[in-house]
């Protein structure tokens, strides 16, 4: 049987641009439906050619508003775009924190745009994996660009750099102390900094401060993050923001970093999948396998410490079938 003949009908439909099939499979991803594995596997060879642009930053800084404007701009240029937003209705807040969050504009009659929000409930690793999966489905579905909105503020960061080829970190003037605490983490992930709400006082200063901070850093792998400012209410700066994104995408190609970065991301994904699988299997066996229960007993009774138990399991056959 050829590979094509083995392609699941849902995968075929996604490749053929069937948006309802795409929506259905995304729901299956959210519901952890085991049928997704075969579909993803069949689609994987068709992926990798689409820029995945992460738009991340603290709650309420204007990420969704910016995405609406970027989408409008891309549609003017006749480029199709898929958007996946991880909804920040986190376990911390028990729901949407801000009453005035911007919804994505419905463009029901435009097949060149596809929006999807995903709940961020559940452990961060699972959300990151599902988000990556959905971005990849959109890639396979043939969109020219995929945008991923995530809330990134240290604790609730979902590792956008393991998903996106370019990461935009959105901030607003007067984040003050927050910026200090965010800084370390955000500098790791930002290819482009966007100071949004530039219509508010302090935007120029914030931009200047950021530019200075960026200039101090050595720059990751030959890239110094670009700093732009935008306002979605005026609106202004959105073209400059998109130009900065494209500049970074071009840098990835001209410097050879694209391949290096992709290899890093995929390695991390493989490690994560093995960790998850081995971890799940091991927990079950620690509970059920009499020999392994004995090892846990020895830790409980303080005969050995957890580290030694782990080493014993590694040396033994616990990780093999
Ligand atoms: N003054 C001003 N307000 C803005 C600007 N951009 C967005 N806002 C407002 O900020 C609020 C939050 O905007 P969103 O686009 O929902 O922000 P977000 O970052 O997607 O929010 P979450 O997804 O909840 O984290 C809304 O009330 C917007 O109208 C801007 O450029 N200037
Ligand atoms: Mg939003």
pLDDT 10s digits, 83-116: 999 876 544 444 444 456 777 777 767 889 999 9
Same domain, 192 and 77: yes
Assigned domain for 36 exists:
yes
Same domain, 42 and 157: no
* Ligand 1 mutation pick, 55, 65, 120, max ligand atoms within 8 A of CB: 65
In the chain the beta strands, taken as DSSP E runs, fall at 52-57, 81-87, 113-119, 145-151, 166-171, 192-195, 226-229
Nearest CA-CA partner of 73 in 225, 295, 226, 242: 242
Q: Please, which residues have CB less than 5 A from ligand 2, an ion? A: 63-64
Same domain, 243 and 282: no
Same domain, 144 and 29: no
End-to-end Cα separation, the chain, in angstroms: 30
Mean per-residue pLDDT over the chain, rounded? 86
pLDDT 10s digits, 222-231: 899 999 999 9
Q: What average pLDDT does the segment 177-199 reach?
A: 77
pLDDT 10s digits, 255-305: 999 999 999 999 999 998 999 899 999 999 999 999 999 999 999 999 999
Q: Is the CB of 237 under 6 A from ligand 1?
A: no
Same domain, 93 and 203: yes
Q: Which of 255, 282, 302 is the last residue of a domain?
A: 255
Domain that holds residue 299: 267-315
Q: 172 CA distance to ligand 1 centroid (A)? A: 10
The residue whose two tokens read 């006749």 is 78
Q: Which of 233, 255, 277 is the last residue of a domain?
A: 255
Q: Is the CB of 68 under 6 A from ligand 1?
A: no
Helix (H, G, I), strand (E, B) or coil at 98: coil
Same domain, 65 and 172: yes
Same domain, 142 and 187: yes
Q: What is the pTM of this model?
A: 0.89
CATH of the domain at 141: 3.40.50.300
Atom 8 of ligand 1, nearest CA residue: 62
Assigned domain for 311 exists:
yes
* Number of structural domains found in the chain: 3
DSSP letters spanning 217-235: S--BTTBPPEEEE-BTTTT
Q: Is the CB of 98 under 6 A from ligand 1?
A: yes
Q: Which of 46, 63, 80 is the last residue of a domain?
A: 46
Same domain, 151 and 176: yes
pLDDT 10s digits, 118-159: 876 666 667 888 999 999 999 999 999 999 998 875 544 557
Same domain, 175 and 294: no
Angle between helices 63-76 and 238-255 (to 10 degrees): 80
- pLDDT at position 110 is 85
Given a cut of 60, is residue 43 above it in pLDDT?
yes
Assigned domain for 260 exists:
no
Give the length of the chain: 321
Same domain, 192 and 233: yes
Q: Please state the separation of Cα 161 from the chain's center in Å.
A: 7
Assigned domain for 128 exists:
yes
């Amino acid at each position: 049987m050829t590979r094509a003949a083995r392609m699941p009908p849902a995968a075929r439909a996604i490749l053929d641009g069937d948006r309802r099939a795409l929506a259905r499979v995304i729901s299956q991803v959210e519901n952890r439906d085991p049928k997704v594995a075969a579909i993803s596997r069949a689609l994987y060879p068709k992926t990798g050619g689409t820029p995945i642009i992460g738009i991340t930053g603290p709650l309420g800084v204007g990420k969704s508003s910016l995405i609406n404007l970027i989408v409008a701009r891309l549609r003017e240029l006749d480029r199709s775009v898929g958007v996946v937003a991880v909804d920040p209705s986190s376990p911390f807040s028990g729901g949407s924190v801000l009453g005035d969050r911007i919804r994505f504009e419905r463009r029901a009659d435009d097949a060149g745009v596809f929006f999807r929000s995903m709940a961020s409930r559940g452990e961060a690793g699972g959300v990151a994996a599902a988000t990556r999966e959905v971005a990849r489905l959109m890639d396979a579905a043939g969109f020219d660009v995929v945008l991923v909105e995530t809330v990134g503020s240290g604790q609730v960061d979902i590792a956008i750099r393991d998903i996106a080829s370019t990461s935009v970190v959105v901030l607003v003037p007067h984040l003050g102390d927050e910026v200090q605490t965010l800084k370390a983490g955000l500098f790791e992930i930002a290819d482009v900094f966007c100071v949004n709400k530039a219509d508010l006082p302090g935007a120029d200063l914030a931009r200047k401060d950021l530019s200075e901070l960026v200039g101090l850093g050595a720059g990751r792998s030959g890239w110094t993050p670009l700093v732009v400012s935008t306002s979605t209410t005026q609106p202004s700066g959105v073209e400059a923001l998109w130009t900065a994104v494209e500049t970074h995408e071009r840098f990835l190609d001209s410097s050879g970093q694209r391949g290096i970065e992709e290899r890093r991301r995929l390695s991390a994904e493989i490690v994560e999948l093995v960790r998850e699988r081995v971890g799940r299997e091991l927990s079950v066996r620690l509970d059920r396998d009499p020999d392994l229960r004995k090892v846990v007993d020895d830790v409980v009774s303080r005969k050995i410490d957890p580290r030694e138990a782990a080493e014993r399991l590694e040396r033994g056959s616990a990780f093999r079938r």
